[in-house]
């Protein structure tokens, strides 16, 4: 909610007028979207199906008391239909090992760059928006079952996903892009380190080691899970927990078997880290990865750190999430970040990611216009 003062014609222009108070202040054209708050604590807005629009109802009220925050009756109401898939983009569910994946294809004959989009749990927001921008994107959720039932993860079916993309008739680049955040980020690193064919990798607020469960490839364990010290998890007064300090140091000798051998990867890297990430020490992991790669002779690295941004860096203009249920630990955790700075970081990170993928995956493409 935001409080504005209308001009002499009774109009408010969000691109011109500053919010006086509310969930944000100042000139913020998209503030009514990114400042939305969940009705219940520790709830995360998760957009799982790209074919389903997100309906947002706006209402305008008169006679708001700025001190007591009381509002009069609605003067006008409107519903905004937020659509993820641009006209002509196709969505197809494909079988991939134990799990299903979703393939998004831009309109036109191509050829287009190919991108494998990894997420811990199925999410279609980022891959569908990338398809709007002229990428063929295969979206894969890593967990095909409840995390507690997953005893190890396998790279084999992700290798199959890479081959599927390479063989797609609309994909023209000989190397592919891979994107991952959080747990999906360390899996993306592992994929680039063990499996050939990854040319451009986008790592977002993740670890430099394998987190959670052992990682297998071709029937063998290739990485152990990084140690976690639950005694270093910090409970807070609102019922959420800060888990950032509970994760072990991948550079410690005891954790070397979990450290991803990123030096073996032959790819360009884009590391995006949030300064106020309360899930991981993302900046330290980012700096460690960049140093190891440069020491190994790979200087194809771009690193960006966003001040006052939290863990959940996503495509822009979605609701800011302060805390939520952790997928592995099954406890509420704080993600970190200050809402306005986080919203700004999402805009910058999205632009950076698109530019990086487009420049590193050179091929003929026809860019389409996104609806978000």
Residues designated catalytic: 182, 277, 311
Q: Tokens 């009774």: give the residue.
A: 10
Go through the chain and tell me how many residues it has.
372
């Amino acid at each position: 909610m935001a409080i504005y003062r209308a001009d002499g014609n009774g109009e408010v222009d969000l691109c011109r007028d500053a919010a006086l108070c509310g969930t944000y202040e100042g000139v913020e054209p998209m503030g009514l979207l990114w400042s939305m708050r969940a009705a219940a604590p520790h709830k995360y807005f998760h957009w799982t199906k790209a074919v389903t629009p997100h309906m947002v109802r706006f209402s305008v009220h008169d006679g708001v008391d700025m001190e007591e925050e009381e509002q009069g009756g609605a003067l006008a109401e409107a519903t905004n239909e937020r659509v993820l898939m641009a006209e002509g983009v196709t969505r197809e569910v494909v079988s991939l090992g134990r799990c299903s994946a979703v393939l998004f294809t831009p309109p036109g004959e191509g050829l287009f760059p190919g991108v494998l989009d990894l997420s811990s749990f199925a999410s279609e927001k980022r891959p569908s928006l990338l398809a709007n921008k002229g990428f063929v994107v295969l979206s894969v959720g890593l967990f095909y079952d409840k995390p507690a039932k997953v005893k190890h993860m396998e790279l084999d079916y992700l290798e199959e996903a890479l081959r599927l993309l390479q063989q797609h008739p609309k994909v023209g680049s000989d190397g592919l892009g891979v994107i991952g955040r959080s747990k999906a980020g360390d899996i993306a690193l592992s994929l680039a380190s063990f499996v050939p064919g990854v040319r451009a990798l986008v790592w977002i607020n993740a670890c430099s080691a394998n987190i959670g469960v052992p990682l297998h490839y071709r029937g063998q364990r290739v990485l152990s899970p990084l140690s976690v010290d639950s005694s270093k998890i910090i409970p807070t007064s609102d019922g959420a927990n800060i888990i950032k300090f509970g994760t072990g140091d991948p550079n410690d000798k005891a954790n070397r078997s979990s450290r991803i051998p990123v030096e073996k990867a032959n790819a360009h890297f884009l590391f995006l880290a949030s300064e106020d990430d309360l899930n991981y020490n993302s900046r330290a992991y980012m700096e460690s990865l960049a140093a190891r790669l440069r020491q190994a002779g790979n200087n194809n690295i771009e690193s960006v750190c966003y001040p006052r941004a939290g863990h959940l860096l996503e495509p822009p203009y979605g609701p800011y999430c302060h805390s939520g249920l952790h997928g592995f630990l099954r406890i509420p955790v704080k993600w970190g970040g200050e809402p306005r700075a986080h919203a700004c970081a999402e805009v910058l990170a999205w632009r950076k990611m698109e530019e990086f993928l487009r420049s590193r995956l050179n091929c003929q493409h026809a860019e389409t216009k996104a609806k978000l």
